[in-house]
Amino acid sequence: MVSVLRVGKHARKVPKKKKLAYIATAAATLVLATGLSATLSQGYTPWAHAAIGPFTQHQKAIELNTQLLSQPYGFVALDGGIPTTYMPIWYVGKALEAAGITQSWDGASQTWTLSIPSGTAPSGITPNFPIGNGNAKIVVNGQLLKQLNTYVARDPLAGPHAQQTVYMPIYYIQLILRAAGIPSEWDGHTWKLLMPANPASSTSDSGTHELFGFVTHYGNSASSLNDLESHPQVQAFSTFTHSITSTGGLTGTVYTDAESYAALHHLSAYITVNNYDDSLSNFDGTMAQQLLQNPTNSTTLINNIVQLVQGTSFAGVNMDFEMLPSSAGSSYVQFLGTLQQRLHAIGKQLNVDLPGVTRAGSAYNYAAIGKVTDGDIIMAYDYSYPGGPPGAIAPIWWVKQVLDYTVSAIPANQVLLGIPMYGYDWHNGTTTALSLPAIDALIRSQSITPKWDGTDDAPYFTYTSGSITHTVYYENATSIADKLALAKSYNLQGVSLWHMDLENSSVWNAISAYANQP
């Protein structure tokens, strides 16, 4: 039996639970005034280049080699008396990051700094254009290449209450990249960055590790979203809100508050689509298999998923089909491949949750799935699960075995290690899921001294309530820090937390240390 509190999520017994592409269709009107100032989210006040309004923003596109990355809005304004297109540098910067270029914007000094890997840019760049004058600077590999004027305006994709962002002439961005040996094209609508996506641009090389969190909305509670808002270390998340029907329909409601928060703070937000059945209080793998093997219903589901995120600021979809029978493996790969193609066509991404396994042979063909997804979250937890014997939820030796197999099949910079933020209380044939704060409270109320399982690298304790003996295994700052160290040692893209609002402050100390490590 599983507690009503839905904490754990794994493809055994219980429920669990980048990237850039904002799509919209209507043009937005922009009014800029001379000497306009606006406060950006970084906390500074930039001064925009003088302009005569109103301007009308139109949707553009940014591609890396033929892959659509985003569809931001831009506008045409005069630069030195010549009409030119201005694009928001946030989206341009994300495209450069996808190509392996590190970039940052310093609002205080109005400086955009690019770091291009050696072997791509020459050691000394000799531009064939003047540095010029303007309120902003572009520095490449420590060398000032351009001063230019910028505009500050609201990004229509970020919502009506979004703070302002900086726009630069795409013409100068092209010139600077060309001087650095990086070709790009602009046809008035689409900026095409023409260089291979750099596998070495994984988080291990860029000096950052991605933190991905799941946001729940059980009973319309905002506690999970509130927790996300309290932890700006989290760069991407998925709302655990939608389930499938047997005929390819979707049930659930878009979490608009979460979508708005992501757009305002430029986070990559996804919608999770799962096969959880409330009537079973479990994932329905058989129903999902029947759907996947029915061409009509499978196509209907793909159409509904695409419609769900099209025209929204969500970055894409997170697929969470759990407890699939082995015979569903090939149809699941085919489904994911078709879904990824459809999502890429509208500038969206696809990531998928996979159960932690140590070898091939299940419905989840890691190698095949890795080729048709943009990111893969490995649920390396629930080794011990509700209904089974008490034990560590994510024993470290098993997590290592899972990662050994994972990186043999999927590129490490595509992988997020799933980390549990909960514990289980086994008692009298029943298992109750507990958040980490609830476990802290239990330890205090029962005056418990937890023990440490050195083999599994996990804390645990027992206590008696009435005549019933309880055994509790859980995660704490030490066990999670050790898993974070594993993620770093395997050069993974980052980690995924199931789920927001289950963790405690000591765990966040470990997570923050991981996020800040080079």
409 and 508 assigned to the same domain: yes
Express as a percent the part of the chain with pLDDT over 90: 64
Per-residue confidence (pLDDT) for residue 118, from 0 to 100? 66
Per-residue confidence (pLDDT) for residue 31, from 0 to 100? 34
Asked which of 181, 196, 211 is the last residue of a domain, the reply is 196
| Residues contacting 375, CB < 8 A, separation 6+ | 18, 19, 349, 350, 351, 352, 414, 415, 416, 493
Q: Is the pLDDT of residue 5 over 60?
A: no
DSSP string, 323-343: S--GGGHHHHHHHHHHHHHHH
| Residues contacting 16, CB < 8 A, separation 6+ | 8, 9, 10, 214, 320, 322, 353, 379, 381, 382, 418, 498, 499
350 and 495 assigned to the same domain: yes
Tokens read off for 342 = 């459809």
Per-residue confidence (pLDDT) for residue 68, from 0 to 100? 81
pLDDT tens-digit map of 231-260:
999 999 999 999 999 999 999 999 999 999
Most confident of 55-64, 149-158, 492-501: 492-501
70 and 114 assigned to the same domain: yes
Amino acid identity, residue 15?
P
Q: Is the pLDDT of residue 264 over 80?
A: yes
What is the 3-class SS of 355-416, one letter each residue?
ECCCCCCCCCCHHHHHHCCCEEEEECCCCCCCCCCCCCCCCHHHHHHHHHHHHHHCCHHHEE
Per-residue confidence (pLDDT) for residue 483, from 0 to 100? 98
DSSP string, 64-81: ETTEEEE--EEEEEEETT
Per-residue confidence (pLDDT) for residue 15, from 0 to 100? 41
Query: Going by DSSP bridges, is the β-strand pair 375-379/349-355 parallel, antiparallel, or unpaired?
Result: parallel
Higher pLDDT, residue 288 or 52: 288
Residue 15 falls inside a structural domain: no
**pLDDT (average), residues 464-484:** 97
Contact between 416 and 212 (Cβ < 8 Å):
yes
Asked which of 178, 196, 214 is the last residue of a domain, the reply is 196
Q: Is the pLDDT of residue 52 over 50?
A: no
484 and 346 assigned to the same domain: yes
We report the CATH number of the domain holding residue 295 as 3.20.20.80
Q: Is the pLDDT of residue 408 over 70?
A: yes
272 and 168 assigned to the same domain: no
Q: Is the pLDDT of residue 298 over 70?
A: yes
Asked which of 148, 175, 196 is the last residue of a domain, the reply is 196
Indicate the range of 30-39, 255-264, 313-322, 370-379 predicted with least confidence.
Answer: 30-39
Q: Is the pLDDT of residue 42 over 70?
A: no
pLDDT tens-digit map of 70-91:
888 899 988 888 889 999 988 8
Residue 468 falls inside a structural domain: no
Q: At 513, phi and psi to the nearest 5?
A: -60, -40
State how many domains the chain has. 2
Residue 6 falls inside a structural domain: no
pLDDT tens-digit map of 8-27:
665 444 444 433 333 333 33
Q: At 224, phi and psi to the nearest 5?
A: -70, -45
305 and 187 assigned to the same domain: no
First to last CA, the chain: 43
402 and 501 assigned to the same domain: yes
Residue 435 falls inside a structural domain: no
Residue 490 falls inside a structural domain: yes
Contact between 63 and 92 (Cβ < 8 Å):
no
Residue 11 falls inside a structural domain: no
Q: At 133, phi and psi to the nearest 5?
A: -130, 160
Q: Which domain holds residue 134?
A: 28-196
Closest CA to 437 of 456, 422, 425, 452: 422
Per-residue confidence (pLDDT) for residue 160, from 0 to 100? 61
Express as a percent the part of the chain with pLDDT over 70: 84
498 and 360 assigned to the same domain: yes
Q: At 298, phi and psi to the nearest 5?
A: -65, -45
242 and 361 assigned to the same domain: yes
Exposure string of 449-478, with b = 16+ CB inside 10 Å and e = fewer, is eeeeeeebbbbbbebeeeeeebbbbbbbbe
Collapse the DSSP code of 344 into the 3-class scheme (helix H, G, I; strand E, B; otherwise coil) and give the result. helix
Per-residue confidence (pLDDT) for residue 204, from 0 to 100? 38
**pLDDT (average), residues 464-476:** 97
Residue 270 falls inside a structural domain: yes
CA 348 from chain centre, in angstroms, equals: 12
Per-residue confidence (pLDDT) for residue 441, from 0 to 100? 98
Beta bridge partners of 70: 62
Contact between 135 and 47 (Cβ < 8 Å):
yes
- pLDDT category, 54, cuts 50, 70, 90? low
Per-residue confidence (pLDDT) for residue 79, from 0 to 100? 85
Cα gap 509→515, rounded to integer Å: 10
pLDDT tens-digit map of 93-113:
888 888 888 888 888 889 999
191 and 262 assigned to the same domain: no
DSSP string, 258-289: HHHHHHHHT-EEEEEEE-EETTTTEE-HHHHH
Residue 158 falls inside a structural domain: yes
pLDDT tens-digit map of 110-147:
999 988 876 555 556 777 788 889 999 999 888 899 99
**pLDDT (average), residues 332-343:** 96
40 and 160 assigned to the same domain: yes
81 and 171 assigned to the same domain: yes
Q: Is the pLDDT of residue 28 over 70?
A: no
Cα gap 34→267, rounded to integer Å: 31
